[in-house]
Structure 1
Amino acid sequence: MGTVAALILFAGVWGSWGTAQHVMLAKGREAGTVRVTRCAGDTCTGPFTPTSQGARARTRVELADSVAVRKGQTYDVVLKPGTTDAVRSGPAGILYAWVPLGGALLLASVVVAGGMRLTRAAWLLGLSGAVLLTSAFLAVQ
């Protein structure tokens, strides 16, 4: 059961790191703002206005459509290198990027409590996941 819990946590980190690396290690990346003008399917698009030195303006970048993205709003973003894909930056972007880890913490807490009978560790994992998910929800509003 310990291996299963570790695998769940590893998968949560792996799922989060794909986005979190661009937000947390933003030095040298193009940073700016995007004003969402259109949402269709699972992406929203809008013009990119640079705020970092060396970044260039773009007429259209893509931002993943989610509950946290609304048409007409302006968001701080970081562009993924070599693409027009934008990722939310700042505290809201960091917390939102780690949401998969929050879910993994909640799931691993059930495995630790039920399979390993370590209730204190399970409570710690579960509460950590709940705090992360709640913080992300409040930050992106």
Structure 2
Amino acid sequence: MIPAMSATAARSRRASSAALRSVRVVVMGAVAVLILVGGVWGSWSTAQLVMLTKGRERGTVEVTRCGADACSGPFRPVSAGATARGRVTIEQTVAVRRGRTYAVVVKPGTDDVVRSGPAGVLYAWLPLAGALLMASVVVAGGLRLRRTGWVLAGAGVALLTAAFVAL
């Protein structure tokens, strides 16, 4: 074998493996970003109601009835401009119990409400917590950034734990 050919072959092999590494980094980075954007997108529809409450109807709801997937009760306004309602609906979760009173924000144009306060904010961002956990696997395994993956996983677990404690 000619020595020049083996050097050329080795160079092309290194170049192709460097190109494959670059493609892997770009694809895995795009997947991680897509997962995180999906988590923010899934959280934002509820989070904006809970976090940006200026001009929204705020009050309390005392849960009087619960069905298969929703609970209802009378709405008592707390904020100026809010109107009392005989019945509003709140999504039934493990954190909503019959007979208890919750601070809520009314979804504009509906009789549906979402929890407000610290518990509501943490509950609204739960989709992001799941996205952080999924993205941590992609970052640690696909991008081979193990410390960054652990940080993302830790943030996801912290958000899940805080929501569990607050609810």
> With structure 1 as the length reference, what TM-score do the two structures score?
0.98
Deviations 1:12-40 (A, max 9, x none): 00000010010001100000000001110
Runs of 4+ in 1 over 2 A off after TM superposition: none
Matched, 1:6 2:18: no
Matched, 1:119 2:146: yes
Q: Report the alpha carbon displacement of residue 95 of structure 1 after superposing the two structures with TM.
A: 0.4
* Residue in 2 that maps onto 1:64: 91
Q: Return the letter of the residue paired with 1:135.
A: A
Matched, 1:45 2:72: yes
Matched, 1:93 2:120: yes
Deviations 1:25-72 (A, max 9, x none): 110000000000111021100000000011010000010000010011
The alignment partner of 1:87 has SS state of: strand
Gaps of 5+ in 2: 1-27
The alignment partner of 1:10 has SS state of: helix
Distance 1:64 1:123 in 2: 33
More helix per residue: 1 or 2? 2
CA RMSD of aligned residues (A): 0.5
Q: Bigger radius of gyration, 1 or 2?
A: 2
Q: Return the letter of the residue paired with 2:107.
A: K
Gaps of 5+ in 1: none
Higher relative contact order (CA 8 A, sep 6+): 1
The alignment partner of 1:32 has SS state of: strand
Q: Return the letter of the residue paired with 1:95.
A: L
Of all paired residues, the percent bearing the same amino acid is: 67
The alignment partner of 2:79 has SS state of: coil
More strand per residue: 1 or 2? 1
Q: Report the alpha carbon displacement of residue 120 of structure 1 after superposing the two structures with TM.
A: 1.0
Q: Return the letter of the residue paired with 2:70.
A: T
> With structure 2 as the length reference, what TM-score do the two structures score?
0.83
Distance 2:90 2:53 in 1: 16
Matched, 1:102 2:110: no
